[in-house]
Structure 1
């Protein structure tokens, strides 16, 4: 009902963010990191008031709003190739589902990021998709080795170089949504989902000075799970263009939107007592072009200047403030399939130990002895010391040297860097 195609753009990462709120009570702002087969999407979450921003696709603005999000064309199926200048690039060209990575054994002739992980021992050939889809390491080594032969690199060295290039692209995306917007990533948790996200999450967190990574249950399908459990929401916007009005005047402006929102949600079957209303005002300095969304309430002027200082480093407190738009967000109740359980600390036994090259380690040219675990067999409270890898049906999580992982009471895999 009332579906608009523009609202579905980049909804996958948004679904993961919704799921975050339902699978953890960490109470900290996060950076959402969604990496799949063709792209990586990162979003700043938990900043309180700047929750929705105008959406752009290919640099073109849409009449729609979404999470502050940045995308790069790097995913598990991204091809590693030499550009015209001889430089190594990873993506945006992808191997696609067919033929897919060379290690799939379906005729792929070019190396992908997935092939590089397999050569580095960061994917287990017998545990991919729960063991239902065995991978062929020899095919991955062949195509990765061909790419590295020009530079005199062996397959492992070339695979590590591919990982480094991909990590650099993803790091730029993380910096774009955090540091470029005035947010310190060190105060945030990296929340990783998507089928390929947890292969890189700890590496990226270490580069950004972040000490904690959370990988939710079923990361490869987590966006879909989040969308299925998300609350029913209606959003209404109205242009105002007035100098900052009083709170009474703002309530008067919001009144017709509140009535409409309640009417629509009740028509969808939401009980009147369970409708939640959030009033947002979009403010700007007089003569300025961009607006700041703030939750309506007291001390708006003070909060506007504080946000201006955070973003730009200064505030013109003598300048008039203009209310450009009002936006009302109405939510119905949400349902979560997850329940927190008690944990009991223990150290599980690995099902395998194999050499793995981990560029994030201090000795990137050295293969570590990495322990392998099956996530579906781990109980809440399980402790795993890196270097290790945790395989599950929809993803693999790499735990670098110097990191510790634990299954918490929500079923999340929480990685922390040792002090």
Structure 2
């Protein structure tokens, strides 16, 4: 009997739907994201793919997995509700002071992202928890009630609480939550001792502030989603994609949206690993460009890079330290406000600027004909002739070419350029922004990005990937099947998984195993509960352990993967050996005689890897022989147009060429050749002669 799995990925502009049958047959569709009611867009996607498969919603009897960039987009675009922050007295300005680090010592005009919660909505309480976890001053109920009154006056809908040393003992934070629940149950409360129970005050404050800022968006939505799926006869509880590359139950995910920030992008990075194995390419660049944001992730040895701390909304040349830090486990990637809906404008210096503001799905780019007036990247692609106004989404969505041309006439006047040159300028600038972000991301991690293949996906990714590849000195671009909805497909090949971290600072020689048992036992219990809520049987539970360690007195930690349960082995010698081995691998030395400190314990709770049939490539269709004029670098060229489904294994297509499929368009520049891989992927490779000429010129 055929079983069906469903994946829905809600982005800032489009909602992608993938219905995957157990025999590998896939049905996909896209619909505009309905920001005023996300459920409307979710179930519109469900209805579209169900109709394509000829089944009812009740026939979807396997997993329902959901990914979204809504949390990320809310942070980048600052479209969240009024939120308050409660801190220990004397620490009011922690979000402004940050960690007192200038990320560029020699630039007098460096910029930081403005705190999500401004000073006028920040409150302090007279309370104190000491470094050893003992409570020196309990919370005053009267003080908390006074804060509640001020929150109501200011229209606050969510509150973040981050008290000093609460990672050691969250009793005072819990008391605040209890009083809010009694006096103001309508206000959401996020506690740093629950969301990020780790040392370093600013990191915890930033993380819990982001959670509080986004929980009013995700909690009502996911609660309603659970109820509506049940009402429509779905048999499974929905699973939500997390930033760490795992999925978890929607009920738990709704309380911690900070773990969903890289939800959709994480799914894309994981499916990039999936294709790296298919192509036997251990190292590649995952390049995902949607309607609102673009994401890049480095895949090394078929696995994505993982980090315990990452930043969103970097405001200054993608430099680390210029964004908002988050201390939760996540797939390591860089994300910028450069998508199909990113708005093109002229800055105070008269220079062309793209994003981070996005037109989203409402009103959307001018060409959508939904009231948008600002020229966007998609408008530029249409004006240049890369997109076909009559065949967008297979003709289901007509584009307004005249409106887009008018918008670029206006932008061209501001730049003193003709319309087509202004449009090509937008195309080049947005590609350079994405290439610069990729170069920065790779260089920060000591990775030589030059020559690494790109896996291009997302609705706008295949349009721009070839230019990005040229700018990153790559010679190969892979366009996988389902490229436009690949992040949604990625959620179907990921396990149920949650990563947990707890700070427990102690030197290795002073380690008390009873304390370790308590810390790890609490995380194992929490992980088991999360897996059970997601429908995983206890027999399928797996737990892996890690520690973040350093030499005493150092600032940064090294993550050590433990291939054993430390509660059972109780061997400090084995842990020390693993630390010294990893430290030597990273830094080329070890410090004999220096004490070693454990800072954080980590537990990963996971279910079994899901078994999915490989996606079958679309069947071939009749060839269509045509060309259309495309403005390339200011010159009109007649460019061949192919239908993707008509390309065979024997075809070798020289660029420039446009390859259309229903959900996206591939644009390949001159000097590149396209062929079809047995997986159904298309592969664009740079001519060897052009590569040699460029090397000689350099």
TM over 0.5: yes
Residue 144 of structure 1 corresponds to 408
Q: Number of paired residues? A: 404
Residue 561 of structure 2 corresponds to 295
Q: Does 1:102 align with 2:381?
A: no
1:236·1:327 contact (CA, 8 Å) conserved in 2? yes
Residue 51 of structure 1 corresponds to 306
Counterpart selection for 2:287 from 30, 33, 50:
33
* SS of the residue 1:370 aligns to: strand
Tell me the TM-score normalized by structure 2.
0.52
Partners of 2:600 and 2:345 in 1: how far apart? 47
Q: Does 1:392 align with 2:661?
A: yes
* SS of the residue 1:226 aligns to: helix
Q: 1:260 to 1:86 in 2, by over 3 A?
A: closer
Q: 1:81 to 1:259 in 2, by over 3 A?
A: closer
Partners of 1:295 and 1:405 in 2: how far apart? 41
Q: 1:168 to 1:259 in 2, by over 3 A?
A: same
| 1:18-417 to 2 correspondences below 5 Å | 18-25=270-277, 26-27=279-280, 28-46=282-300, 50-58=305-313, 59-186=323-450, 188-243=452-507, 256=521, 265=531, 270=536, 275-296=541-562, 299-308=578-587, 317=591, 320-335=595-610, 337-339=612-614, 349-358=623-632, 364-379=633-648, 382-417=651-686
Q: 1:272 to 1:121 in 2, by over 3 A?
A: same
Which blocks of at least 5 consecutive residues in structure 2 are unaligned?
1-248, 314-322, 564-576, 689-698
Which blocks of at least 5 consecutive residues in structure 1 are unaligned?
310-314, 359-363
Partners of 1:418 and 1:285 in 2: how far apart? 50
Partners of 1:382 and 1:336 in 2: how far apart? 33
1:210-267 per-position Cα deviation (integer Å, ceiling 9, x unaligned):
222222222232222212332111323343434568xxx9xx8797466875686477
Q: Does 1:16 align with 2:295?
A: no
Structure with higher Rg: it is: 2
Give the Å deviation of 1:338. 4.5
1:78·1:113 contact (CA, 8 Å) conserved in 2? yes
1:18-58 per-position Cα deviation (integer Å, ceiling 9, x unaligned):
22334452342232222111221222333658523224444
Structure 1 residue runs of 4+, over 6 Å off? 252-255, 340-343
Give the Å deviation of 1:115. 1.3
1:148·1:155 contact (CA, 8 Å) conserved in 2? yes
1:291-342 per-position Cα deviation (integer Å, ceiling 9, x unaligned):
2334336754233233246xxxxx5645554332232223323335442779
| Structure with the largest fraction of helix | 2
Partners of 1:375 and 1:264 in 2: how far apart? 42
Give the Å deviation of 1:275. 4.7
Tell me the TM-score normalized by structure 1.
0.83
> Relative contact order (C-alpha < 8 Å, sep 6+): which is higher?
1
* SS of the residue 1:178 aligns to: helix
Partners of 1:342 and 1:42 in 2: how far apart? 25
